[in-house]
């Protein structure tokens, strides 16, 4: 089974802190994604990556950055956390797009609270 | 660009009654279609998918969805719901990215 693991289920951080959310997948997927989920807004794409050291902005990249130094790991960074970044963060991975997009596999999510 | 519309944000239904969760999408090109389910404080799990072939797809727990190209819809149905089906359901399409609807909260009432 594909496994996508997010390093934390719950996090509480203070305003202004630098926050790292880590995601690891074990199925050699090329594509990885970071979403945030808020009530009534569904899932919104923050960043995605099709390959190592490659990244592309999604719909709401402001206030975030990402890092993909290894194929299996995709990190989301909040440079200076703010209260409006309190949310559920979901990481996902999928097979290479040139071979056809199959489903996205999701981690368990990280519920981040910024105080 | 693709967009996904889930027409109902909340659907309450009595146990053993049928249910339909509606999903429409807009796309000028062929896409893949998915339904995901999310239980409280968990990530999303794939319920079923349409990639090609038969327009009616089924899941192992009794849900089915039908791809209707002319109406650009992919509605999810179950003939008889259980309490355990209470969850959030997301419709999604993919081309180069995944685009999700805003979700439908299904509540099954005993």
Q: Determine the residue of chain B that is closest to A4 in CA distance.
A: B43
pLDDT at residue B69 tops 60: yes
- Say which of A90, A103, A108 has its CB closest to residue B34: A103
Cβ(B25)–Cβ(B72) under 8 Å? Answer: yes
- What is the average pLDDT across B25-48? 88
Q: Answer yes or no: do B43 and A4 touch at CB < 8 A.
A: yes
Burial of A30 (0-12, 13-18, 19+ CB in 10 A): middle
Whole-number pLDDT of residue A24? 97
Tokens (6 digits) for A6: 């997010």
Q: Answer yes or no: do A104 and B92 touch at CB < 8 A.
A: yes
Whole-number pLDDT of residue A98? 63
Q: Answer yes or no: do A103 and B102 touch at CB < 8 A.
A: no
Cα three-residue angle A95-A96-A99, rounded to 5 degrees: 100
Whole-number pLDDT of residue A1? 67
Q: Point out the least confidently predicted range of A3-7, B8-12, B30-34, B100-104.
A: B30-34
**pLDDT averaged over consecutive 10-residue blocks of chain A (115 residues)?**
88 97 93 93 92 92 96 96 97 76 88 97
Cβ(A23)–Cβ(A73) under 8 Å? Answer: yes
- Find chain A residues with C-beta within 8 A of B42's C-beta: 108-109
Cβ(B81)–Cβ(B13) under 8 Å? Answer: yes
pLDDT at residue B95 tops 80: no
């Amino acid at each position: 089974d594909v496994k996508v693991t997010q390093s934390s289920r719950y996090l509480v951080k203070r305003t202004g802190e630098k926050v790292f959310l880590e995601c690891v997948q074990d199925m050699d997927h090329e594509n990885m994604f970071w979403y945030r989920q808020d009530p009534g807004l569904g899932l919104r794409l923050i960043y995605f990556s099709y390959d190592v050291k490659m990244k592309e902005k999604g719909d709401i990249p402001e206030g975030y950055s990402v890092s993909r130094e290894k194929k299996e790991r995709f990190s989301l960074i909040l440079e200076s956390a703010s209260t409006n970044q309190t949310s559920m963060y979901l990481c996902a991975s999928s097979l290479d797009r040139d071979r056809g997009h199959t489903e996205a596999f999701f981690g368990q999510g990280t519920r981040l609270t910024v105080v | 660009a693709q967009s996904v519309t889930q027409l109902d944000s909340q659907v309450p239904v009595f146990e053993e009654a049928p249910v339909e969760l509606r999903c429409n999408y807009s796309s000028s090109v062929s896409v893949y279609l998915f339904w995901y389910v999310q239980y409280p404080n968990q990530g999303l799990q794939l319920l079923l998918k349409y990639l090609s072939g038969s327009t009616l797809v089924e899941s192992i727990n009794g849900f089915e969805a039908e791809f209707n190209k002319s109406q650009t819809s992919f509605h999810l149905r179950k003939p008889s719901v259980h309490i355990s089906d209470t969850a959030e359901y997301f419709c999604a399409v993919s081309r180069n990215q995944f685009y999700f609807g805003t979700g439908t909260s299904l509540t099954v009432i005993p």
